[in-house]
Amino acid sequence: MKQKSITIYDIAKEAGVSSATVSRVIARNYPVSAKTRKKVLDLIDKYDYQPNAVARSLTKKETKMIGFVLPDITNPFFSQVFIEAEKYALTKGYTLILCNSMNTSEMESKYLKILSERQVEGIILMGGRINKKLPDAVEVSEVSQVLDKLPVMMINGKIDGLHCHSVRTDEAKGMELAVNHLVRQGHKKIGLIGGVNGITTTDIKVEAYRNLLLKYDLTFRDSWQIYSGFDVQTGEEAIDKLLMLNKDKLPTALIGINDLVIMGALKACRRKRIKPFDFVGFDNTDLAKNSSPEITSVSHPYSQLGEKAIDLLINASKSSNESKDILLDPYLEVRESCSITKL
Amino acid sequence: MKQKSITIYDIAKEAGVSSATVSRVIARNYPVSAKTRKKVLDLIDKYDYQPNAVARSLTKKETKMIGFVLPDITNPFFSQVFIEAEKYALTKGYTLILCNSMNTSEMESKYLKILSERQVEGIILMGGRINKKLPDAVEVSEVSQVLDKLPVMMINGKIDGLHCHSVRTDEAKGMELAVNHLVRQGHKKIGLIGGVNGITTTDIKVEAYRNLLLKYDLTFRDSWQIYSGFDVQTGEEAIDKLLMLNKDKLPTALIGINDLVIMGALKACRRKRIKPFDFVGFDNTDLAKNSSPEITSVSHPYSQLGEKAIDLLINASKSSNESKDILLDPYLEVRESCSITKL
DNA sequence: TTTAAATATGAAATCGGTTTCTATAAAATT
DNA sequence: AATTTTATAGAAACCGATTTCATATTTAAA
């Protein structure tokens, strides 16, 4: 195990050529005589020679690595974007380094530093805590030493005061898909649950939600729009809060800030043994597909999100320093949750 | 953007010392006078100097990187192990490189090659296709050039003919937890759904299941043990098959090869509007916690799995070439699914 | 046939660190 | 005061590739 691995010099020596020539054979972008090429290729094959990517990175000053920092890969929303990005990056010869910040700012800063030291060529950031109006937000200044040196791509987020590119799902449009769908099902009382005031994606959705109620001339009640969080428990609690209202003051349909809160809402309805509301979630994660009832959900264009992020980042390294922002269209994945009343 | 980054020489020059001295200050394992140290540290601070990990890797012949190849990070079983491994690796100064093989053998081979070129110090393999008795299995010989050179750690799996370490959950013991639990609930007719004949983890569970039925003196019927797969659809189909039996020949409780098939079973029960069976799943993923009803599930000792894998791998690089196999105990996470009859 | 252009290859510098070996200065010992 | 230790720091080699520059050999053009 772990025998000394062979280098380009070993190959060169046995082939009776210089390392430069072997390098040229490998890069195959430079003329080498057919005879020499064959001799070298045969030896590469014979010894299973693999060029050392670390050494190559050092000389070429390119690592072909991209850092991908997100709060938690266990969350299917993030993992789906990651997987699409990874798939696409591979076709472009890049390797992603995934970093789970566990939603803590220390981890986030730490990983940014590690990635920078490892000479990644760019960083993709999702759902981070940088410059958020949150208790343990990361100050931009803290990480700017890192982020200023590297092309940065934010997915579904934007940091004020930081020069970076972004790719986002048009969540206002997503909200329109959701509301429109429910309205067409005949709903006139639509609530919105989950999210945290001050988080961009929440704010966008909430604003769109209110505007749409106006547009469709639907009643809005403060008690129908419940901030809480992003997890299952959040959804359960939201239902509990709603049920404190008079029965005739309840909404008939609920939009969730994501699928998880809808899962929670479903649990609460089951626990309380009430006929569930009609639901529409956001993110279209596997959860929505696998739960029973299945959940109708506004889907991110996952593959586009991943691909555009990689593409822009790769080109960003080359091109000028204007920052690009791309807005992508969501779509609605209609499932049974809106006909749950049939149960 | 992307200004030329400063090197150890820049620091050395401005401090009026040699690069060796700066290196020593950074490594702080070698005597440097207090005066010199301060001068250097001040400059490092002034310029936000970060050592280039690529260059360091080249000289030290250690990258502090470990490859982690799994089929699909979207699957919470894998992502939970990964996240624990990552967390622990970080404390040891290692970075993980996650590779999603998408369950294809080409990707698996490709990633192994990439990881090897990138000089990872070890590879963790989960749920791969190497040497499986499957249509598109990877021949060991194909990847042995890579795997023979590096310490390899398998999590919940073992490859014949490949020298590697392994960490596994004792799934026979897990099955015992499941059966025992159901028996204590008064069940005498217990079925098993999901899995694929020939896959190690399935085989272990099936064998344990049969032995346990004997041990508890319970009836076994062929029709109660349904091979199918590992996903939600699999679970749905299993219920469909079961329902073709006479009502008095149905089991009263079902054990799922994982949580997903139980999710599927729940969906099918709901669709067929039948009072569900009692269920116990495997893996204790978030799914089990978030679904309604919640699913009782046999849990892997996730953090141990991840930590042991990293620990053994790190020490393996150093120590002899005997391979270690570690078996860890699962535990049962009791949730409501076993009292679903209350619904 | 002579000269110019194209092809094929090697020598050596380089990337940014670490480490060994050596030299000097300072401290401790005799 | 002379000698031995010890602390400090530099010079230079090295890790394994790539690439520039120069050179030798062919081939094409004049």
Task: Of A127, A137, A21, give the one whose Cα is nearest residue A79.
Answer: A127
Give the residue whose CA sits closest to C12 at C1'. A20
The answer to whether the beta carbons of residues B265 and B282 sit under 8 Å apart is: no
Burial-class residue B193 by CB neighbours within 10 Å (0-12, 13-18, 19+). Answer: buried
- Which residues, 6+ apart, have CB-to-CB distance to A241 below 8 Å? A223, A226
* Residue whose token pair is 């030896």: A43
Per-residue pLDDT for B5 more than 70? yes
CA distance A139 to A147: 12
For residue A162, what pLDDT is reported?
75
Other beta carbons within 10 angstroms of residue B102's beta carbon come to 15
CA distance A88 to B195: 31
Could you tell me the residue ranges of all domains in chain A?
8-51, 64-169+302-328, 171-301+332-342
The tokens for B98 are: 């996650």
pLDDT in tens, B246-285: 888 899 999 999 999 999 999 999 888 887 789 999 999 9
Residue B87 to residue A74, Cβ atoms within 8 A: no
What long-range pairs does B213-222 form, CB within 8 A, spacing at least 24? B213/B179, B216/B179, B216/B183, B218/B183, B218/B188, B218/B189, B218/B190, B219/B188, B219/B189, B221/B249, B221/B251
The answer to whether the beta carbons of residues A67 and A123 sit under 8 Å apart is: yes
Per-residue pLDDT for B289 more than 60? yes
> Taken in order B231, B235, B238, B240, is the CA torsion positive or negative?
negative
Per-residue pLDDT for B318 more than 80? no
Spanning CA of B228 to C1' of D10, the rounded length in angstroms is 70
Q: What CATH code is assigned to B8-51?
A: 1.10.260.40
CATH 3.40.225.10 applies to domain A64-169+302-328: no
Nucleotides of C under 7 A from a protein CB: 7-12, 14-20
Share of chain B above pLDDT 90, in %: 72
Q: What's domain B171-301+332-342's superfamily in CATH?
A: Response regulator (3.40.50.2300)
A8 touches strand D (CB under 7 A): yes
SS3 labels along chain B: CCCCCCCHHHHHHHHCCCHHHHHHHHHCCCCCCHHHHHHHHHHHHHHCCCCCHHHHHHHHCCCCEEEEEECCCCCHHHHHHHHHHHHHHHHCCCEEEEEECCCCHHHHHHHHHHHHHCCCCEEEEECCCECCCCCCCECHHHHHHHHCCCCEEEECCCCCCCCCEEEEECHHHHHHHHHHHHHHCCCCCEEEECCCCCCHHHHHHHHHHHHHHHHCCCCCCHHHEECCCCCHHHHHHHHHHHCCCCHHHCCCEEEECCHHHHHHHHHHHHHHCCCCCEEEEEECCHHHHHCCCCCCEEECCHHHHHHHHHHHHHHHHHCCCCCCEEEECCEEECCHHHHHHHC
B197 touches strand D (CB under 7 A): no
> Taken in order A142, A143, A149, A155, is the CA torsion positive or negative?
negative
Counted residue by residue, chain A has a size of 343
Residue A53 to residue B98, Cβ atoms within 8 A: no
Longest dimension (CA), chain B: 89
Query: Is B315 at the interface with chain A, CB within 8 A?
Result: no
CA distance B205 to B282: 10
The answer to whether the beta carbons of residues A254 and A190 sit under 8 Å apart is: yes
The answer to whether the beta carbons of residues B193 and B238 sit under 8 Å apart is: yes
For residue B342, what pLDDT is reported?
36
Side-chain-side CA neighbours of B85 within 13 Å: the count stands at 35
Do B64-169+302-328 and B171-301+332-342 fold alike per CATH?
yes
Reply yes or no: is the peptide bond before residue A135 cis, omega within 30 of 0.
no
* Residue whose token pair is 């025992």: B180
Other beta carbons within 10 angstroms of residue A250's beta carbon come to 17
CA distance A99 to A110: 10
Q: How sure is the predictor about B341, in pLDDT bands with cuts at 50, 70 and 90?
A: very low
CA distance A188 to B36: 74
CA distances from B70 to B161, B203, B257, B310 (A): 20, 20, 19, 15
Task: Of A340, A318, A317, A342, give the one whose Cα is nearest residue A121.
Answer: A317
From B135's Cα to the closest Cα of chain A, the distance in A is 23
Residue B270 to residue A293, Cβ atoms within 8 A: yes
- What residues does B138 pair with on adjacent strands? B130
Give the residue whose CA sits closest to D9 at C1'. B21
Q: Is A100 helix (H, G, I), strand (E, B) or coil?
A: strand
Spanning CA of A10 to C1' of D24, the rounded length in angstroms is 25
Q: Which helix (H) or strand (E) holds A117?
A: helix A105-117
CA distance A144 to A151: 12
> Taken in order A262, A263, A266, A272, is the CA torsion positive or negative?
negative
User: How confident is the prediction along chain A (343 residues), in pLDDT tens digits per residue?
Assistant: 445 789 999 999 999 999 999 999 999 878 899 999 999 999 999 999 999 999 999 999 999 999 999 999 999 999 999 999 999 999 999 999 999 999 888 899 999 999 999 999 999 999 876 655 555 666 665 677 778 889 999 999 877 777 789 999 999 999 999 999 999 989 999 999 999 998 888 999 999 999 999 999 999 999 999 998 998 999 999 999 999 998 888 999 999 999 999 999 999 998 888 877 899 999 999 999 998 889 999 999 999 999 999 999 998 766 666 788 999 999 999 997 655 443 3
> Taken in order B215, B218, B220, B223, is the CA torsion positive or negative?
negative
φ, ψ of residue B200 in degrees (nearest 5): -50, -50
The answer to whether the beta carbons of residues A334 and A112 sit under 8 Å apart is: no
Give contacts of A 155-214 with B, CB under 8 A. 163
